[in-house]
């Protein structure tokens, strides 16, 4: 057991900065600022902090390699790795979310975007605004640009989707950026002609699939037909088209990406949900929890859960996925893979919701149908809910990109999401892997700097990372997780 | 008065569900007490009082009713956390300067400042040598001779 005498003998000449936590099996988990980790039994932990480890021992060498020991190369290596890990800070926004319409043909019970009805054509983006959006996007100093079509249902404003793709492609002949497109759609308005156009332009397809038919249709209400059947029909069709297109040319080609929003209904159905994904040929599932935006707040009693209920669900679902892997099936959970890339490879996967500082403004911008620009899509959702424009940066018709970015709001969200200085984070052993969302905090606590211990999202994120570390102590799992990390890296676009 | 063992003393007022700790602030610096109490904010409401140079009183008002075992666990966890925070604080203090240096070198040295850019411009201009200062005088003389000769040739052709 740790005691004051042990602490007094800390050899601060040898031990570099680390955070730690004692696990139930008496192993100490140590992490450092780059994200390296190591488990040490108590005896080794004490030897390490007292500087009594044999310099020739394997353990000493391992600690040295992972930069827990201050030797002659410590500074040089630490600086280099720290710079690599945070290199995203040097670039401007890469993800550009374009809301081409607020209209939607679904009425999902949790709709975070508070979609408008199909008849409200006033919520469509016009071509003039679309052109300005593309012009603004290309002013970003980031060489990697992703234009993501969101809504509402973006296919309801197809002419603008088509225009943006054509205009951006044309513009890129001069700009020569690494340009990709992503369409987030329920697919129910897709047809062969649209699909061909999107595939020719290498647009990535993303959809919402909430699992098996009964869970999906319960969450995603569609009065014009069976949402599950329509979505699945197009998933199969697009995946087949990708397969035919890249047959013999590429191994790691795109497939349709799918998101699940976990509601109360999903909690007990986790096996059916995962089985559906596997049956449809998905290689991963993203067990995304609910966010307190849009209709999700109104349907609280019907769909919400408390952190403990979600964490229990996640652990059961995770174990079920792991069991599939033990049986030889390569299938992973996406949130876990994001964290594992940070833990095992000390990478920053640039998942903007789990980054510090988060992706708001400096990683992404959200362009509303009328040209209003928000810090992120969540910021736009807040405005849509009750007209609270706390996260509005300006409007492309009035403001330049520089004006949109170089302002106090951008600085505030960066400051609020930089976990280094936040109470509860700076000493937390999982700090190198966690991120927070100021918009989420504002929505729940009315404050972008809340007491994190009482935060629903923080409790869940911390529990997931802790569970991963529990599982990482098993050698067999380590090999599986390495495979997940490899598989979760996105394919090179062209 | 409740006791976990002889070392750990605390008072528990069952009526108002409040635990009172007396913490020796010479052993546990104030920062570590702040950090340790912060970690219990989801379970209790916290109030700190006392004399920072001698003894700190921490009042934990429970958010939910607990049984005897849960109460003892909570108290034990708090004492362990105080100890963990002492070590964390020591590690943090010992590495404060080196961490600041790492961050400044890793992030700021990679971004060229305005001064760096101006210096680069000056360097670039200097390398272009517009006044020919860096050219050795022999080369200059030869070049001058050559240009004289070629100008004579041009004149004779005319």
| Shortest Cα distance, chain A CAs vs residue B44, angstroms | 11
- Distance from C-alpha of A74 to C-alpha of A262, rounded to nearest angstrom: 44
From chain B, pick out residues whose CB is under 8 angstroms from the CB of A460.
none
Nearest-by-CA chain B residue for A19: B88
Instruction: Look at A7 and B83 and tell me if their CB atoms are within 8 Å.
Output: yes
Instruction: Look at A7 and B94 and tell me if their CB atoms are within 8 Å.
Output: no
From chain A, pick out residues whose CB is under 8 angstroms from the CB of B94.
10, 12, 15, 17
Q: Which of A7, A78, A451 sits opposite B86 (nearest CB)?
A: A7
DSSP string, A131-151: HHHHHHHTTSS-SEEEEEEES
**pLDDT band with cut points at 50, 70 and 90 for residue B158:** very low
Per-residue pLDDT at B134: 60
For A158, how many CA atoms within 13 A lie in the half-sphere containing its CB? 11
Mean pLDDT estimate for chain B: 79
- Distance from C-alpha of A456 to C-alpha of A308, rounded to nearest angstrom: 9
| Shortest Cα distance, chain A CAs vs residue B155, angstroms | 50
Q: How far is CA A65 from the centre of its chain?
A: 29
Per-residue pLDDT at A297: 79
| CA distances to B40, B62, B100 from B15, in Å | 21, 11, 49
Residue A384: which residues within 8 A CB-CB, separation 6 or more? Answer: A102, A113, A114, A294
Task: Give which of A363, A348, A352, A353 is closest to A141, Cα–Cα.
Answer: A363
**What sign does the dihedral A359-A109-A155-A257 (CA atoms) show?**
positive
> Is B26 in the A-facing interface, judged by CB distances under 8 Å?
no
Nearest-by-CA chain B residue for A87: B107
Q: How far is CA A305 from the centre of its chain?
A: 21
Instruction: Look at B106 and A12 and tell me if their CB atoms are within 8 Å.
Output: no
- Distance from C-alpha of A380 to C-alpha of A385, rounded to nearest angstrom: 9
> Is A46 in the B-facing interface, judged by CB distances under 8 Å?
no
Per-residue pLDDT at B112: 47
Instruction: Look at B106 and A459 and tell me if their CB atoms are within 8 Å.
Output: no
Query: pTM for the full model?
Result: 0.86
Per-residue pLDDT at A494: 44
Structure tokens at B133: 């200062």
Q: Assign residue A190 a region: left if phi > 0, alpha if psi is -120 to 50, beta otherwise?
A: beta
Whether B46 and B59 have beta carbons less than 8 Å apart is answered as yes
pLDDT above 70 (res B85): yes
**What sign does the dihedral A224-A227-A232-A234 (CA atoms) show?**
positive
Task: Give which of B17, B22, B25, B19 is closest to B7, Cα–Cα.
Answer: B22
For B82, how many CA atoms within 13 A lie in the half-sphere containing its CB? 20
Instruction: Look at A82 and B83 and tell me if their CB atoms are within 8 Å.
Output: no
Per-residue pLDDT at B135: 64
- Distance from C-alpha of B107 to C-alpha of B33, rounded to nearest angstrom: 32
Q: How many CB atoms lie within 10 A of CB A19?
A: 21
From chain B, pick out residues whose CB is under 8 angstroms from the CB of A86.
106-107
**pLDDT band with cut points at 50, 70 and 90 for residue B140:** low
Out of A36-45, A441-450, B62-71, B134-143, the most confident range is A36-45
CB-count burial class (<10 Å; 0-12, 13-18, 19+) for B104: exposed
Tell me the backbone φ, ψ of residue A363, rounded to 5 degrees.
-120, -25
Residues B66/B72/B74/B76 CA torsion (nearest 10 deg): 180
Per-residue pLDDT at B127: 56
Task: Give which of A448, A8, A423 is closest to B34, Cα–Cα.
Answer: A423
**pLDDT band with cut points at 50, 70 and 90 for residue B2:** low
Task: Give which of A144, A151, A44, A145 is closest to A384, Cα–Cα.
Answer: A151
Task: Give which of A433, A436, A469 is closest to A349, Cα–Cα.
Answer: A433
> Is B115 in the A-facing interface, judged by CB distances under 8 Å?
no
Predicted complex ipTM: 0.77
The DSSP code for A207 is E
From chain A, pick out residues whose CB is under 8 angstroms from the CB of B95.
12, 16-17
* Strands laid side by side in the A178-184 sheet: A287-288, A257-261, A203-208, A178-184, A144-150, A95-99, A364-367, A372-374, A392-395
> Is B103 in the A-facing interface, judged by CB distances under 8 Å?
yes
Q: Which of B39, B86, B92 sits opposite A17 (nearest CB)?
A: B92
> What ranges in A247-376 are assigned the alpha helix state H?
264-268, 270-279, 295-298, 300-303, 307-326, 334-345
| Shortest Cα distance, chain B CAs vs residue A306, angstroms | 14
**pLDDT tens, residue by residue, A254-269:** 789 999 999 999 999 9
Task: Give which of A304, A437, A439 is closest to A385, Cα–Cα.
Answer: A439
**pLDDT tens, residue by residue, A270-307:** 999 999 999 999 999 999 999 888 888 788 778 999 99
Q: Which of A17, A49, A454 sits opposite B95 (nearest CB)?
A: A17
Ranges of residues in chain A with a pLDDT under 70 are 251-252, 491-494
> Is A49 in the B-facing interface, judged by CB distances under 8 Å?
yes
Q: Which of B95, B96, B100, B104 to mutate to test the interface with A (most CBs of A within 10 A)?
A: B95
Show the beta-strand stretches assigned E in A330-465.
332-333, 364-367, 372-374, 392-395
Whether A86 and B106 have beta carbons less than 8 Å apart is answered as yes
Residue B146: which residues within 8 A CB-CB, separation 6 or more? Answer: none
Q: CATH 3.30.70 residue ranges in chain B?
A: 2-94
Average pLDDT of the residues in B112-120: 55
Q: Which of B44, B94, B104 to mutate to test the interface with A (most CBs of A within 10 A)?
A: B94
Nearest 5°: the CA angle B122, B124, B125 is: 65
> Is A16 in the B-facing interface, judged by CB distances under 8 Å?
yes
Q: How many CB atoms lie within 10 A of CB A230?
A: 17
DSSP string, A248-266: TT-SS----EEEEE--HHH
Instruction: Look at A75 and B102 and tell me if their CB atoms are within 8 Å.
Output: yes
Q: Any idea which architecture B2-94 has in CATH?
A: 2-Layer Sandwich (3.30)
Per-residue pLDDT at A358: 93
**Angle in degrees, 0-180, between the axes of helices A307-326 and A475-488, rounded to the nearest 10:** 100
> Is A92 in the B-facing interface, judged by CB distances under 8 Å?
no
From chain A, pick out residues whose CB is under 8 angstroms from the CB of B107.
82-83, 86, 89
Per-residue pLDDT at A493: 46
As a three-state string, the secondary structure of A40-63 is EEHHHHHHHHHCCCCCCCHHHHHH
Average pLDDT of the residues in B87-112: 82
């Amino acid at each position: 057991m740790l005691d004051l005498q042990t602490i007094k003998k800390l050899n601060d000449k040898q031990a570099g900065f680390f955070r730690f936590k004692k696990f139930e099996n008496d192993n100490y988990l140590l992490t450092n600022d780059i994200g390296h980790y190591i488990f040490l039994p108590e005896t080794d932990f004490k030897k390490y902090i007292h500087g009594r480890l044999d310099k020739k021992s394997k353990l000493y060498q391992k600690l040295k390699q992972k930069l827990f020991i201050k030797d002659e190369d410590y500074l040089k290596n630490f600086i280099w790795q720290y710079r690599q890990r945070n290199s995203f800070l040097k670039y401007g926004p890469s993800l550009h979310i374009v809301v081409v319409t607020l209209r939607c043909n679904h009425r999902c019970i949790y709709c975070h975007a508070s979609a408008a009805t199909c008849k409200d054509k006033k919520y469509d983006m016009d071509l003039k605004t679309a052109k300005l959006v593309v012009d603004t996007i290309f002013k970003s100093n980031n060489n990697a640009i992703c234009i993501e079509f969101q809504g509402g249902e973006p296919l309801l404003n197809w002419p603008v989707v088509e225009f943006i793709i054509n205009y951006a492609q044309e513009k890129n002949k001069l700009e020569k950026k690494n340009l990709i497109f992503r369409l987030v759609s329920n697919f129910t308005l897709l047809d062969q002609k649209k699909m061909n156009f999107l595939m020719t332009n290498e647009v990535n397809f993303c959809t919402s699939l909430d699992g098996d038919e009964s869970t999906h249709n319960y969450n995603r209400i569609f009065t014009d037909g069976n949402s599950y059947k329509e979505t699945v029909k197009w998933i199969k069709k697009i995946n087949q088209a990708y397969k035919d297109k890249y047959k013999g040319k590429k191994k790691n080609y795109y497939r349709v990406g799918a998101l699940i929003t976990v509601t109360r209904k999903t909690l007990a159905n986790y096996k059916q949900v995962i089985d559906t994904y596997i049956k449809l040929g998905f290689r991963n599932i993203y067990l995304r929890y609910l966010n307190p935006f849009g209709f999700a707040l109104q349907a609280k009693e019907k769909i919400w859960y408390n952190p403990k209920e979600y964490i229990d669900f996640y652990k059961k679902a995770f174990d079920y996925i792991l069991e599939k892997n033990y049986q030889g099936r390569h299938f992973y959970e996406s949130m876990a893979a994001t964290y594992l890339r940070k833990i095992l490879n000390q990478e920053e996967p640039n998942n903007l919701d789990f980054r510090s500082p988060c992706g708001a403004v400096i990683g992404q911008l959200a362009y509303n149908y009328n040209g209003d620009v928000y810090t992120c899509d969540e910021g736009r959702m807040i405005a849509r809910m009750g007209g609270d424009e706390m996260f509005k940066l300006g409007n492309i018709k009035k403001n330049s990109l520089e004006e949109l970015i170089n302002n106090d709001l951008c600085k505030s969200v960066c400051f609020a999401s930089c976990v280094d200085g936040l109470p509860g984070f700076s000493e937390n052993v999982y700090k190198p892997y966690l991120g927070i969302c100021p918009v989420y905090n504002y929505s729940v606590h009315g404050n972008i700097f809340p007491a994190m211990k009482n935060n629903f999202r923080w409790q869940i994120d911390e529990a997931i990372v802790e569970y991963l570390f529990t599982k990482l102590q098993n050698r067999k799992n380590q090999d599986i997780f390495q495979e997940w990390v490899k598989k979760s890296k996105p394919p090179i676009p062209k | 008065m409740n006791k976990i063992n002889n070392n750990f003393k605390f008072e528990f007022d069952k009526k108002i569900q409040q635990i009172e700790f007396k913490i020796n602030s010479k052993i546990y610096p104030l920062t570590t007490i702040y950090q340790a109490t912060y970690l219990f904010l989801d379970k209790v409401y916290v109030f700190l009082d006392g004399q920072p140079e001698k003894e700190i009183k921490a009042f934990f008002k429970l958010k939910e009713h607990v049984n005897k075992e849960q109460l003892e666990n909570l108290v034990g966890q708090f004492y362990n956390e105080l100890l963990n925070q002492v070590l964390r604080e020591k590690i943090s203090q010992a590495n404060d300067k080196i961490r600041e240096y790492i961050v400044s070198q890793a992030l700021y040295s990679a971004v060229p400042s305005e001064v760096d850019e101006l210096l680069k411009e000056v360097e670039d201009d200097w390398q272009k040598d517009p006044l020919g200062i860096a050219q050795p005088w022999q080369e200059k003389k030869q070049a001058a001779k050559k240009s004289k000769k070629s100008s004579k040739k041009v004149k004779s052709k005319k």
